[in-house]
């Protein structure tokens, strides 16, 4: 009789635990965040909005029992993820670009997004394509590279503006690097436009000095804290900026069981729209980190250009470009960038010495 009672008690306690299990969806806004709480049957228990701040999140979620909380990746997802874990919840950070059910909804609003996140997390959390936040140190170091990129973009817009102001006069400024542009163009600009362009040239020079300071700090990070970036710089076309951005963006190489997964992670694999016998050739997915993908594409352009040294990767890319077609060159650049991402991860994990013609020598042997 005692065994029966204990078994019944365990069943009742299990039923109570199942009855108390909730799933929470959080739509993070810049000022207000909408919350939807579902019970174990999928019924809405509570819907409300709270202030988007660590203090408000900590005060609200500390009162709730441990639950699965789904939220979208964004500007506030890093600290929100940490606060939720500190309060004892299991946080799932969803990739909205992978979930068209959310961002392609015709009736999209914050309340509906919170409901969708909660229901998807309740059914199968893999439907949210959970993302992995970088460590605090990697995010701090990566902010230096992001700040430098913002200055480079501003410098490019200033230079293009100066060139655009000069062209209507019938003159044309010669080709010059961004570092030499202010000094070389100061005397080549027509006299009528020198007053309107003088301040822009001064700002361009100021941006050159600031970018130089960031470059020195990046070299310092590579020499002191991220020395494995030297392994990646063995490849011609991969400088300290690209190598450090690669390491900081991926953060942990063990996240990928195979190096080939890195190309897909950075959005460098071709899109697919196969149906029956129809399988068209499409462009790359362009998912993942846009900045790192841009750096890898720039490195691929150098490797395939006239100054790129001979290597297996260059030969392979030139073969793809030689096939011809309207987009042969673009296809070759994307393929080389994808192979380059795989090679960088392999060197990072193994620490091997890079041999540019390794495959060619094996074939010749």
Given a cut of 60, whether residue 15 has pLDDT beyond it is no
Q: Assign 20 a pLDDT band (cuts: 50, 70, 90).
A: low
Report whether pLDDT(14) > 50: no
**Cα end-to-end distance, the chain, whole Å:** 80
Nearest to 33 by CA among 87, 68, 76: 76
pLDDT in tens, 343-361: 999 999 999 999 998 778 7
Name residue 7's beta-bridge partners: none
Is the distance from CB of 93 to CB of 134 less than 8 angstroms? no
19: nearest Cα among 45, 53, 48? 45
Q: Using 50, 70 and 90 to split pLDDT, how confident is the model at 103?
A: low
Q: How far apart, in whole angstroms, are the C-alpha atoms of residue 92 and residue 205?
A: 45
User: pTM of this prediction?
Assistant: 0.85
* Tens digit of each residue's pLDDT (9 = 90 or more) over 31-68: 999 999 999 888 999 999 999 999 999 999 999 999 99
What does the alpha-carbon distance between residue 88 and residue 348 come to, in Å, rounded to a whole number? 35
SS3 of 284, please?
strand
Residue 208 is predicted with a pLDDT of 97
Q: Phi and psi for 45 in degrees, rounded to 5?
A: -90, -35
What's the rounded Cα separation, in Å, for the pair 114 and 342? Answer: 37
pLDDT recorded at residue 162 = 95
- Whether 101 and 116 have beta carbons less than 8 Å apart is answered as yes
Report the pLDDT averaged over residues 241-260: 94
Q: State the DSSP H helix or E strand holding residue 27, giving kind and residue range, or none if neither.
A: strand 23-27
DSSP string, 310-364: P-HHHHHHHHHHHT-STTHHHHHHHHHHHHHHHHHHHHHHH-PPP-TTHHHHHHH
- 335 vs 1, higher pLDDT: 335
**Integer Cα distance of 270 and 5 in angstroms:** 61
Higher pLDDT, residue 16 or 342: 342
pLDDT score of 2 more than 80: no
pLDDT score of 232: 96
pLDDT (mean) for 319-345: 91
Q: How far apart are CA 79 and CA 254, in angstroms?
A: 24
**pLDDT tops 70 at residue 236:** yes
pLDDT of res. 101: 62
Q: For residue 305, what is the DSSP state?
A: S
Could you give the dihedral angle defined by the CA atoms of residues 84, 87, 88 and 93, in that order, rounded to the nearest 10 degrees? 0
CATH classification number, 18-128, choose in 3.30.420.40, 3.50.50.60, 3.30.2020.30, 2.60.40.350: 3.30.420.40
| pLDDT tens-place string over residues 157-184 | 999 999 999 999 888 899 999 999 999 9
φ and ψ of 284, to 5 deg: -70, 160
Residue with more model confidence, 323 or 152: 152
Angle between helix axes 136-166 and 194-224 (nearest 10 degrees) is 160
Q: Which residues of 259-284 are buried (b: 16+ CB within 10 A; e: fewer)?
A: bbebbbbbbbbeeeeeeeeeeeeeeb
In order of 91, 128, 140, 279, the CA distances from 73 in angstroms are 11, 11, 18, 32
Own/partner long-range contacts of 114-117 (Cβ < 8 Å, ≥24 apart): 114/25, 114/26, 114/27, 114/34, 114/35, 114/36, 114/47, 115/25, 115/36, 115/44, 115/47, 116/25, 117/25, 117/26, 117/27, 117/36, 117/70, 117/71, 117/72
């Amino acid at each position: 009789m005692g065994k029966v009672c204990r078994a019944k008690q365990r069943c009742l306690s299990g039923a109570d635990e199942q009855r108390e299990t909730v799933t929470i969806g959080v739509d993070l806004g810049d000022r207000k965040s909408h919350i939807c709480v579902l019970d174990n049957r999928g019924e809405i228990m509570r819907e409300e909005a709270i202030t988007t701040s660590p203090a408000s999140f900590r005060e609200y979620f500390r009162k709730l029992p441990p639950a699965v909380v789904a939220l979208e990746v964004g500007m506030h997802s890093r600290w929100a993820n940490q606060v939720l874990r500190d309060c004892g919840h299991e946080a799932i950070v969803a990739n909205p670009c992978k979930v068209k059910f959310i961002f392609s909804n015709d009736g999209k609003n914050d309340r509906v997004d919170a409901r969708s996140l909660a229901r998807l997390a309740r059914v199968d959390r893999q439907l949210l394509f959970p993302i992995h936040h970088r460590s605090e140190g990697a995010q701090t170091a990566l902010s230096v590279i992001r700040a430098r990129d913002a200055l480079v973009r501003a410098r490019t817009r200033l230079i293009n503006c100066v060139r655009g102001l000069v062209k209507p006069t019938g003159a044309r400024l010669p080709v010059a690097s961004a570092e030499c542009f202010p000094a070389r163009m100061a005397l080549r600009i027509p006299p009528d436009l020198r007053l309107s362009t003088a301040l822009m040239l001064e700002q361009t020079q100021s941006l050159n000095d600031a970018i130089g300071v960031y470059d020195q700090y990046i070299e310092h990070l590579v020499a002191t804290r991220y020395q494995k970036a030297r392994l990646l710089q063995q490849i011609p076309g991969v400088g300290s900026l690209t190598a450090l951005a690669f390491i900081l963006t991926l953060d942990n190489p063990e996240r990928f069981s195979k190096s080939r997964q890195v190309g897909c992670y950075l959005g460098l694999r071709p899109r697919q729209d196969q149906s029956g016998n129809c399988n068209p050739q499409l462009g790359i997915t362009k998912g993942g980190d846009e900045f790192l993908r841009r750096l890898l594409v720039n490195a691929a352009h150098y490797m395939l250009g006239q100054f790129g040294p001979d290597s297996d990767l260059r030969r392979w890319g030139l073969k793809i470009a030689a096939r011809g077609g309207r987009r042969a060159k673009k296809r070759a650049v994307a393929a080389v960038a994808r192979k380059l991402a795989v090679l960088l991860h392999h060197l990072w994990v193994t620490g091997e010495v890079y041999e540019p013609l390794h495959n060619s020598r094996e074939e010749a042997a």
